[in-house]
A and B are shown apart, each in its own frame.
Chain A
Amino acid sequence: MFKDITLGQYYPGESVIHKLDPRTKLSGTMLFLISLFINDKFIGLGLALLFLATMVKISGVPARFITRGLKGIFLIVLITVLFSVFYVNTGTLLVDFWIFKIYSGGLSNAAFIAIRIMLLVLGSSLMTLTTTPTRLTDGLEKGLRCLNIIHFPVHSLAMIMSIALRFIPILTQEMNKIQKAQMARGADFEKRGFLRRIRGFVPLLVPLIISAFRRAADLAQAMDARCYHGGKGRTKMKPLRYARRDFIGYLVLFSFLALTIVIRIMPYGY
């Protein structure tokens, strides 16, 4: 049941995209998402699609890995599409059947939203596929350092994130062990039905949570013993440094954003 939890769905590679500083990729993804919301024309989405496709091509990540993320959001896309098909009543009336009225405006609106959501997911997939979780947390920590002035605990959050990532495989293993131990004593985890399966979880979760707390206490002590005292005065084995490729990256990103804004303020086009 838990065999296929893979976190940090990193796709190893040596491309420029892989090598970019995680901060560049994080802000790049942010800018890309913002550009999607600036867009109000299909031609703008087309540009975004082109931009993303080029990045994917450069990264060398196979398309099927990128599109895998779409499976998870199928339901959300479907619901959004249905809502906008039936609620938007601009344009010409295309279908009029019983209580359902479908307008051309509704259809194009639905298509627009669907494409936008899909691009959103694809864009963030590219980032997680080309950045290891460790680099990602490093990037977050350094990129959000400015929030320290308002006493936002950036370092602690990054540390929590990286420890969580480290313990996911350990706790997954442990969960499998508990499950097998309970199966050996006659527990049945193959039950049908949603509610029954949820109920089957409870006897797994209780020992798992208790053990997680014990591990947390141990780990806290081990960190104390190794002089951990928060982010103050801490140095890094692998500090993040911007390279030339990152400046080129930012240049490309801002040109893309500028173009998107131009398309937005164009008075004509679809």
Chain B
Amino acid sequence: MALIDIHHLFHSFYRYNESGEVAGTKEALRDVTLSIEAGTFVAVLGHNGSGKSTLAKHINALFLPSKGQVLVDGRDTKDAANVLLIRREAGMVFQNPDNQMIANVVEEEVAFGPENIGVPTEEIWERVADSLERVGMTAYRMHSPDRLSGGQKQRVAIAGIVSMKPQCIILDEPTAMLDPVGRREVLRTLHELNEKEKITILLITHHMDETIDADRVIVMDDGEVVLDDVPREVFAHVDELRSRGLDVPVPTQLAYELKKRGLELPEGILSEEEFVDAYMKLCK
């Protein structure tokens, strides 16, 4: 059984007028069916308002389905008794690092999750040390989160989830407020967690280049899943992605344009190296 199973999920937001009647509805998710296997690195793409955050919050039981079903590790999010268990299996990191930190010291911040789920004191210390080590922030243990760079703050936030020992981490645009260095730090941390700890990663992002190393890319548009495949296949649909308001990585786009003009380049080029290799082969 897959770790995350989503069956025909619908989600509507309601807008109310002054007298409390429903004045309008917005279907943020429409008939989403997905299943995510344990241990995979999944990237979710989509332009603003396509429903990515709404989907993420369903997996963490922050939202409940208007229609359909979400199962995390076999547990239905609709069952109130499951909520805490689900949140501890599927941790969530948000966009703004400042707005998700509770404590004044890094180590206490990382301890917040384990404290909430009632881990004994000695074990909390072990988990904090271990999680900080995993994200490479041990040296900042006693620092105030306010003094850290954006990338460091997000790594602390990730450590704060890792310390709950989840099977899955969902990250909602964790790099949107970071500079390129910070983005690279966070991405590297995520791939390490995925490879070494076998933690399932669900990364929501706007940056195409963050998705090329994923096992799977899901493209959303207007509340629906429109593409769902390995990166190479997804980025072969250059025209479709563009029509859905998304860019493709620069090498992919260059290869695509050259191909349209008659050069015999292979499909689905993702990185600069691949492009250079293919181009050199062509020149020979």
A223 touches B84 (CB 8 A): no
Given contacts A227-B87, A237-B125, A134 and B98 within 8 Å (CB-CB): no
In Å, the complex CA distance between A237 and B119 comes to 9
Given contacts A134-B108, A221-B62, A170 and B98 within 8 Å (CB-CB): yes
Closest CB of chain B to A101's CB: distance in Å? 55
Closest CB of chain A to B178's CB: distance in Å? 17
CB of A169 within 8 Å of the partner chain: yes
Closest CB of chain A to B45's CB: distance in Å? 22
B116 touches A222 (CB 8 A): no
Given contacts A218-B96, A221-B94, A227 and B121 within 8 Å (CB-CB): no
In Å, the complex CA distance between A221 and B99 comes to 10
53-92 of chain B: CB within 8 A of chain A: 57, 60, 62, 84, 87-88, 91-92
CB of A149 within 8 Å of the partner chain: no
Which of A86-94, A182-190, A228-236 lies at the interface?
A228-236
CB of B112 within 8 Å of the partner chain: yes
The main secondary structure of chain B at its interface with chain A is: helix
A222 touches B94 (CB 8 A): yes
Say which residue of A218, A228, A236 sits within 8 Å of B121 (CB atoms).
A236
User: How many residue pairs at the A-B interface have CB separations less than 8 Å?
Assistant: 89
117-164 of chain A: CB within 8 A of chain B: 133-134, 162-163
Contacts of A57 in B (CB 8 A): none
Q: Sorted from nearest, which 3 A-B pairs have the closest CB atoms?
A: A222-B100, A218-B99, A237-B111
Contacts of B160 in A (CB 8 A): 226
Contacts of A229 in B (CB 8 A): 84, 116
B104 touches A215 (CB 8 A): no
29 pairs, A vs B, C-beta closer than 8 Å:
A134-B103, A134-B104, A134-B105, A162-B103, A162-B104, A163-B102, A165-B104, A166-B104, A169-B146, A170-B146, A218-B96, A218-B99, A219-B100, A221-B62, A223-B102, A225-B91, A225-B92, A225-B94, A227-B164, A228-B112, A234-B118, A235-B119, A235-B124, A236-B115, A236-B121, A237-B107, A237-B111, A237-B114, A239-B121
A166 touches B102 (CB 8 A): yes
Interface size on A, residues (CB 8 A): 28
What is the 8 Å Cβ interface bit string for chain B, positions 153-178, against chain A (1 contact, 0 not)?
A: 00000001100100000000000000
Q: Which residues of A contact B (CB under 8 A)?
A: 133-134, 162-163, 165-166, 169-170, 214-215, 218-219, 221-229, 233-239
Contacts of A169 in B (CB 8 A): 146
In Å, the complex CA distance between A222 and B93 comes to 8
Given contacts A218-B94, A224-B87, A234 and B102 within 8 Å (CB-CB): no
Given contacts A229-B84, A235-B124, A219 and B117 within 8 Å (CB-CB): no
Contacts of B102 in A (CB 8 A): 162-163, 166, 219, 222-223
Contacts of A134 in B (CB 8 A): 103-105, 108
Contacts of B150 in A (CB 8 A): none
A218 touches B105 (CB 8 A): no
Closest CB of chain A to B201's CB: distance in Å? 16
Contacts of B113 in A (CB 8 A): 226-227
Say which residue of A162, A227, A238 sits within 8 Å of B116 (CB atoms).
A227
A235 touches B108 (CB 8 A): no
